[in-house]
Amino acid sequence: MSNDKKTKVLEYNAIFTQEEEGGYSVHVPDLPGCYSQGETFEEAKANISEAIELYLEGADEALYHIPEKTRREFMAPVSVRIIE
């Protein structure tokens, strides 16, 4: 018996925010309404991965094809010194 199912690896940018009260919130801009959280960065990352999988279970397949450019964009904090 052969298994005809294929596995795809999809990449999405996730935006993590360190919360003042502790932990992290995270969302995926390319998947409206896809949010999660975690007490640590690693937990938030694992939780958003699970949230993405659940989100895609019932989603339109168009969301499976995020433009290549989107995957190369990311956010990072940048500090700038200003002399007053």
pLDDT tens for each residue of 1-23: 556 777 777 888 899 999 999 99
CATH number at residue 35: 3.30.160.250
pLDDT of residue 30: 84
Query: Where is 16: in which H helix or E strand?
Result: strand 15-18
Q: What residues make up the domain containing 24? A: 15-65
Domain membership of residue 4 (yes or no) is no
Domain membership of residue 37 (yes or no) is yes
Nearest CA-CA partner of 21 in 42, 36, 37, 43: 37
Domain membership of residue 52 (yes or no) is yes
Identify whether the C-beta of residue 46 lies closer than 8 Å to the C-beta of residue 22: no
Domain membership of residue 60 (yes or no) is yes
Put simply, whether the predicted model's pTM sits higher than 0.75 gets the answer: no
Domain count, the chain: 1
Domain membership of residue 54 (yes or no) is yes
Confidence class for position 61, pLDDT limits 50, 70, 90 = confident
Domain membership of residue 75 (yes or no) is no
